[in-house]
C-alpha cells in the first residue's frame, strides 16, 4: 500500500504522512474508507508502531483522517484540503521559479519543462 524510502533524508513519519495525503487527495482512499490499523501498518512496513502513530496523529490534526475509538481511523471529507494543498504547491513553485530566474535559468527551459510535464497528463 505504501513504500518507504530508507535513503531519503525525510523522517519516516513524514514520508508516511505524505504518502497517505496523496492516497487520500487522489481518491485512492475515498472519504469514509478505513485506514489500515496502526499495528498492521507497523508490521507491514517493519516500522515501530509509535512512528506510525505519530504520522496518524499528524494526519488527524491536518484533517485528513479521524479516529473512532476502538474501531480504527477513517478518511475524512477533504474538499478544502485539496485546495489548500494546491495553493501550498503553487507557493513552493513561486519560490523555486524566483530562484531559477535569479541564477539565470532561461525562461525557455522552464517553459519547455512545463509543457513536457503537462503534456504527459493529456497522454494519460
Partner DNA sequence: GTGGTCTAGACCACA
State the residues that interact with DNA by CB under 7 A. Answer: 11-14, 35, 37-40, 47-51, 53-54, 56-57, 60, 67-73
Q: Residue 39 Cβ, how far from DNA at the closest point, in Å? A: 4
CA-to-CA distance for 47 and 38, rounded, in angstroms? 10
Round to whole Å and give the CA distance between 64 and 62.
6
Query: What is the Cα–Cα distance from 20 to 26, expressed in whole angstroms?
Result: 10
Q: Binds 105, which of a copy of itself, DNA, none (CB < 5 to 8 A, cut-off by type)?
A: a copy of itself
Q: Which is closer to DNA, CB of 4 or CB of 100?
A: 4
* Residue 36: DSSP 8-state: P
DSSP 62: T
CB of residue 81 vs DNA: minimum separation in angstroms? 18
**What x/- string results for residues 15 through 54 when contact with a copy of itself is judged by CB under 8 A?**
-------x--xx----------------------------
Rounded distance between C-alpha atoms, residue 124 and residue 122, angstroms:
5
Identify which of residues 42 and 100 has a Cβ nearer to a copy of itself in the complex.
100
Q: Interface residues for a copy of itself in 72-91 (CB under 8 A)?
A: 82, 85-86, 89-90
Residue 81, CA atoms < 13 Å, CB-side half-sphere: 20
Amino acid at each position: 500500500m505504501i513504500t518507504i524510502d530508507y535513503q531519503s533524508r525525510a523522517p519516516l513519519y513524514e514520508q508516511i504522512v505524505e504518502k497517505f495525503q496523496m492516497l487520500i487527495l487522489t481518491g485512492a482512499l475515498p472519504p469514509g474508507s478505513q485506514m489500515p490499523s496502526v499495528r498492521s501498518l507497523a508490521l507491514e512496513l517493519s516500522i515501530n508502531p509509535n512512528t506510525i502513530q505519530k504520522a496518524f496523529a499528524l494526519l488527524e490534526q491536518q484533517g485528513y483522517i479521524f479516529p473512532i475509538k476502538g474501531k480504527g481511523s477513517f478518511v475524512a471529507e477533504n474538499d478544502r484540503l485539496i485546495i489548500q494543498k494546491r495553493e501550498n504547491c503553487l507557493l513552493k513553485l513561486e519560490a523555486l521559479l524566483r530562484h531559477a530566474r535569479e541564477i539565470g535559468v532561461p525562461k525557455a527551459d522552464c517553459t519547455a519543462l512545463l509543457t513536457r510535464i503537462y503534456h504527459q497528463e493529456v497522454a494519460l
